[in-house]
Amino acid sequence: MITTSPNRAGLAIGLILLGVAAISVNDMLIKRLSDGYPLHQIVFTRSAIGIVLGLVLVKLEGGLHLLKTRQPGLHLLRGLLIVISNMSFFLALAVLPLAEATALFFAAPLFITLLSIPILGEKVGPLRMGAVIVGFVGVVIMQRPWAGGDALQASRLVLFLPVLAALTYALNQLMTRKLGVSTKASVLSVYIQAVFIVVSLGFFVVAGDGRFVAGDSSASLEFLLRAWVWPAQDDYLTFLGIGLNVALIGYCLSQAYRLGDAATVAPFEYIGLPLAVFWGFVIFGDLPVWEVWVGIALILASGLFVYLRERQKALRVTRLQGGRRA
């Protein structure tokens, strides 16, 4: 007998909306800390808090014995993918405005919809595929390939980092859909936090004293490699908030992709775009340039179309099933 993962679209959508709202707060808090602390210290602190809360959830969902797995390699790969995704995005966030970095990252739902075809065997019709292409056009516009290096706020490498983060995030979420058949969301979250802790401790051992930071280092490299410092008293609550947030994010996103089809859940991640614009303006006083506004509009339009198309198909299937029962 073939076991399939549950499909509860309404709950999955609610969880993804909550998870993405928590992500937007998390990104804003990390950007606030990026000029004073190294990335691996922030990651270690939030994951140490997050894994404790995750273990509590594991206990509530059935007990610590759920942490046993027959697929340790897949869980490790999934953890490494999300580590690459997070670090790539946060390194870009140290340089780029919050809205621009987030908008570029929102190639992720496009990648998820596209990659769900070969990886999960989900069907994506020509209209939805056209919407995905429109979304990628928006990503290209935000990359501003016609502009010279002096006209850009950051290097081409930094502009590419959120796209790399999007690709690895998409692969991670598709693996979540596969592993979620037999693994609780709380367990998936704990495995990810464990990988974050190991990787961040590795960075501390190699570069925790700041030995690799040169005077002419870029802001992204300095964020990655600067020395660990004891947090200022005013930042204690920020670190705690990041830790609580990451536990919520890990659970909500894992559970959402366990319960719903990837191509259905992914478009609802677009709520993060207006939230990023909001936080960027309120906290940092940044507003997107026109290319980013165009890219946001195209990505939002493509995501909305995918959602409406998915809803139309679901209603049609429901009517057909109702006819058969009658």
- The residue type of 77 is L
Using DSSP, state whether 122 is helix, strand or coil.
coil
Whether 257 contacts 176, CB under 8 Å: yes
Which DSSP helix (H) or strand (E) runs through 219?
A: helix 219-225
Tokens of 307: 């959602």
Instruction: For residue 68, count other CB atoms closer than 10 A to its CB.
Output: 8
What does the pLDDT look like over 271-282, one tens digit per residue?
A: 888 899 999 999
What does the pLDDT look like over 62-105, one tens digit per residue?
A: 888 888 887 788 888 888 998 899 899 999 988 888 988 998 88
- Identify the residue whose tokens are 């590795």: 202
Question: Roughly what angle, to the nearest 10 degrees, separates helices 98-105 and 290-325?
Answer: 40
What does the pLDDT look like over 157-206, one tens digit per residue?
A: 888 899 999 999 888 878 776 665 567 778 888 888 899 999 999 999 99
Whether 8 contacts 256, CB under 8 Å: no
**Using CA atoms, how far apart are residues 109 and 174, in angstroms rounded to an integer?**
11
- The residue type of 287 is L
308 pLDDT higher than 90: no
Whether 98 contacts 258, CB under 8 Å: no
Instruction: For residue 268, count other CB atoms closer than 10 A to its CB.
Output: 21
- Identify the residue whose tokens are 């056209």: 130
Whether 282 contacts 243, CB under 8 Å: no
320 pLDDT higher than 80: no
In the predicted model, what is the mean pLDDT of the chain? 82
State the DSSP code for 180.
Answer: T
Q: What is the pLDDT of residue 156?
A: 77
Q: What is the pLDDT of residue 1?
A: 37
322 pLDDT higher than 60: no
